[in-house]
C-alpha cells in the first residue's frame, strides 16, 4: 500500500468546516454535537475538491462525511439551475434509501433536490422524478443502467461521483456495471470512494478511477468490535433456535437483529421463532422490495422483536439504538462479522453481540479472532452446553473450507466470489 497516508486527528467542531448556516442548522436538528473521525478527515478534503479514497465502516458517520461537503459545494457554486451533478452509487437498495434519507436530512433547509433509483420497483415514478429535475442522484448500478439504456437519465454533467461501500459493490459482482456506467460519465470529475476495507481489488479499482486521491484511513478497522460487548456461546447446532428464543424471551430484549448465512435458514428461523412466541420476520434478497420495507418498518416500530437477516440484506440498514445482535451462524467471511456486530453500537452507543457457535463452525471463529487480533472466549450457557457424545454431520464427514464456501455461494444471497480478503489470506 505505497500511497497510504495517515492523517492526524485534529480537534474540530462542525463550525470549523465553514459550512453554510443551512447545513449547520440541519446538523443541529440531527443532534450531532461533533464530527466523527471520518467526518473530521474527509470533509475538508472533499470541500477542497480532491479525489478521496476513504476506509470507513458503516456506522462511523461516513454518509455525512461525503454528503455534507457535497451539499456545501452546491451552495458555494450558487448555480440556480437544476442539473444532475452528483451521482452516488450504492450496492443495495437499503443502503441507497439510507443515503437518500441522509442527503434529504442534511439538505432539508436548502433547495437542493436529491432523487433515488433502485431495482425491484416500477421505473415509472423514478422516471417522473428524474424528469422533474434533481441535483443529486442515489442509485444502485443495475437500475441506473436500465434508465441509461432507455435514456431516462443523463450523466454527462456529473461533477461528483461517489462509490459507497465499494468493496461490497465489487463483492456483489457489480464490476461490469460500474465499467458500463463509467462510459456515460464525463472524464473530469471529483471521485470519492468509500469502502469498509482496502482489499487488493479496491486498490486496483482506485488506480483506474481516482486521480491523485487523498487517502483517509482512520484506525477504525475494528472500531465496531471495540464498542460492542462480544459473547460467544458454544452450543449444538440443533439447539441454536431454542437458545435464540430463550435468550430473547428470558432477557426480554425488544429489538434483536439475528444473522443467518442463508435465505432458507432466515425464513425457517423466523417461522420457528414466531412459533416459540418471539415474533420474527426474515429479510433477504429473495423478498420483494415491499416485503423488505414492511419487515424493516415493523421491526423499527417494535411490532416484531427479531429481524432475521442475511449479510447482504442487512447492509445499509440503520436502526437507531439497536442494542442486540445475534450471530445465529457465523459468516464465512470474517469481515462480515465486523459488519454484523457494527449494526449495534452505532454512533457512540454500546451494544451486545452474541455468537452461537457449533463445533463445525470453530474454524470460522478462528478466522474472526485472527482478523480482530483478539481471542473470543467461548462460554456455555447452563442447560445449553454442547453434548460431547453428539457428533455433528460435518464432523463425521468433514467438508473442506472451499466446499463450505461453495455451499454458501449457492445458498446465500449474491455474495462475494472471493470469500477471503488478502489480509486473511496472508495470515
Ligand atoms: P453512517 O455511518 O453514515 O451509516 O451513520 C451511522 C449513524 O451515525 C447514523 O444514524 C447517523 O445519523 C449517525 N451520525 C452521523 N454523524 C454523526 C455525528 N457527527 N454525531 C452523531 N451521530 C452521527
3-state helix, strand, coil in the chain (%, to 5): 45, 15, 40
Mutate to test the pocket of ligand 1, among 346, 348, 349, 351 (most ligand atoms within 8 A of CB): 346
Q: What is the DSSP letter of 338?
A: H
* Angle, CA 387 vertex, CA 383 and CA 392 arms, to 5°: 135
| Same domain as 201, residue 241 | no
Domain assignment present for residue 414? The answer is no
Here the CATH number for the domain that contains residue 34 is: 3.40.50.300
Is residue 164 within 6 Å of ligand 1 at its C-beta?
no
Q: Is the pTM of this model over 0.75?
A: no
CA 60 to ligand 1: nearest atom = 2
Is residue 35 within 6 Å of ligand 1 at its C-beta?
yes
| Same domain as 99, residue 196 | yes
Residue 296 to residues 89, 118, 168, 290, 352: CA-CA distances in angstroms?
22, 17, 21, 10, 20
Domain assignment present for residue 265? The answer is yes
CA of 135 to the centre of ligand 1 (A): 23
| Same domain as 384, residue 250 | yes
Is residue 319 within 6 Å of ligand 1 at its C-beta?
no
| Same domain as 232, residue 213 | no
Mutate to test the pocket of ligand 1, among 23, 31, 64, 94 (most ligand atoms within 8 A of CB): 64
Mutate to test the pocket of ligand 1, among 61, 165, 339, 345 (most ligand atoms within 8 A of CB): 61
Angstrom distance (rounded) from CA 300 to CA 64: 22
Domain assignment present for residue 416? The answer is no
| Same domain as 242, residue 175 | no
CA of 60 to the centre of ligand 1 (A): 6
In a structure prediction context, what are the per-residue pLDDT tens digits for the chain, which is 427 residues long? 334 333 444 457 899 998 999 999 999 999 998 999 899 999 999 999 999 999 887 778 999 999 999 999 999 987 778 999 999 999 989 899 999 999 999 999 999 999 999 998 999 999 999 999 999 999 999 999 999 999 999 999 999 999 999 988 887 889 899 999 999 999 999 999 998 878 778 888 898 899 999 999 875 554 555 678 899 999 999 999 999 999 998 888 889 999 999 999 999 999 999 999 999 999 887 888 788 888 888 988 889 999 999 887 776 666 777 889 999 999 998 888 888 887 776 655 668 999 999 999 999 999 999 888 888 888 998 899 988 776 554 444 444 444 444 444 433 333 333 333 333 333 3
| Same domain as 337, residue 269 | yes
Is residue 58 within 6 Å of ligand 1 at its C-beta?
yes
| Same domain as 388, residue 262 | yes
Q: What is the DSSP letter of 94?
A: H
| Same domain as 213, residue 237 | no
Parent domain of 145: 14-217
Domain assignment present for residue 347? The answer is yes
Amino acid at each position: 500500500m505505497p500511497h497510504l497516508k495517515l492523517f492526524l486527528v485534529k480537534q474540530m467542531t462542525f463550525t470549523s468546516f465553514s459550512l453554510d448556516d443551512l447545513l449547520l442548522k440541519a446538523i443541529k436538528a440531527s443532534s450531532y454535537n461533533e464530527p466523527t473521525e471520518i467526518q473530521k478527515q474527509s470533509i475538508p478534503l472533499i470541500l477542497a475538491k480532491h479525489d478521496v479514497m476513504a476506509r470507513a465502516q458503516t456506522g462511523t458517520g461516513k454518509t455525512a462525511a461525503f454528503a455534507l461537503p457535497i451539499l456545501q459545494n452546491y451552495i458555494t457554486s450558487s448555480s440556480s439551475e437544476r442539473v444532475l451533478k452528483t451521482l452516488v452509487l450504492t450496492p443495495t437498495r437499503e443502503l441507497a434509501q439510507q443515503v437518500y434519507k441522509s442527503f434529504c436530512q442534511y439538505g432539508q433547509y436548502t433547495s437542493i433536490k436529491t432523487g433515488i433509483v433502485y431495482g425491484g420497483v416500477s421505473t415509472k415514478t423514478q422516471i417522473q422524478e428524474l424528469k422533474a429535475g434533481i441535483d443529486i442522484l442515489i442509485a444502485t448500478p443495475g437500475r441506473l443502467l436500465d434508465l441509461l439504456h432507455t435514456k431516462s437519465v443523463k450523466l454527462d454533467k456529473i461533477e461528483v461521483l461517489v462509490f459507497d461501500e465499494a468493496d461490497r459493490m465489487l463483492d456483489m459482482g457489480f464490476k461490469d456495471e460500474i465499467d458500463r456506467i463509467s462510459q456515460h460519465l464525463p472524464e473530469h470529475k471529483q471521485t470519492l470512494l468509500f469502502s469498509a476495507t482496502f482489499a487488493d481489488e479496491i486498490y486496483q479499482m482506485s488506480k483506474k478511477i481516482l486521480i491523485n486521491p487523498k487517502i483517509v484511513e482512520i484506525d477504525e478497522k475494528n472500531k465496531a468490535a471495540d464498542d460492542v460487548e462480544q459473547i460467544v456461546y458454544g452450543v449444538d447446532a440443533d439447539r441454536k433456535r431454542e437458545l435464540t428464543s430463550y435468550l430473547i424471551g428470558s432477557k426480554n430484549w425488544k429489538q434483536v437483529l439475528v444473522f443467518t448465512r442463508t435465505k432458507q435458514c432466515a425464513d425457517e428461523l423466523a417461522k420457528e421463532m414466531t412459533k416459540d412466541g418471539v415474533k420474527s420476520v426474515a429479510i433477504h434478497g429473495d423478498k420483494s422490495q415491499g416485503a423488505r420495507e414492511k419487515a424493516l418498518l415493523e421491526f423499527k416500530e417494535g411490532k416484531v422483536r427479531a429481524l432475521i437477516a442475511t449479510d447482504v440484506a442487512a447492509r445499509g440498514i440503520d436502526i437507531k439504538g439497536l442494542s442486540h445482535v445475534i450471530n445465529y451462524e457465523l459468516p464465512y467471511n470474517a469481515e462480515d462479522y465486523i459488519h454484523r456486530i457494527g449494526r449495534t453500537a452505532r454512533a457512540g452507543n454500546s451494544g451486545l453481540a452474541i455468537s452461537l457457535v457449533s463445533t463445525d463452525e470453530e474454524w470460522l471463529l478462528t478466522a474472526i479472532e485472527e482478523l480482530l487480533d483478539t481471542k473470543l472466549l467461548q462460554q456455555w450457557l447452563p442447560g445449553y452446553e454442547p453434548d460431547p457424545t453428539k457428533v455433528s454431520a460435518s464432523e463425521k464427514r468433514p467438508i473442506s473450507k472451499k466446499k463450505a464456501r461453495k455451499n454458501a455461494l449457492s445458498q446465500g444471497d449474491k455474495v462475494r466470489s472471493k470469500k477471503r480478503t488478502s489480509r486473511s489470506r496472508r495470515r
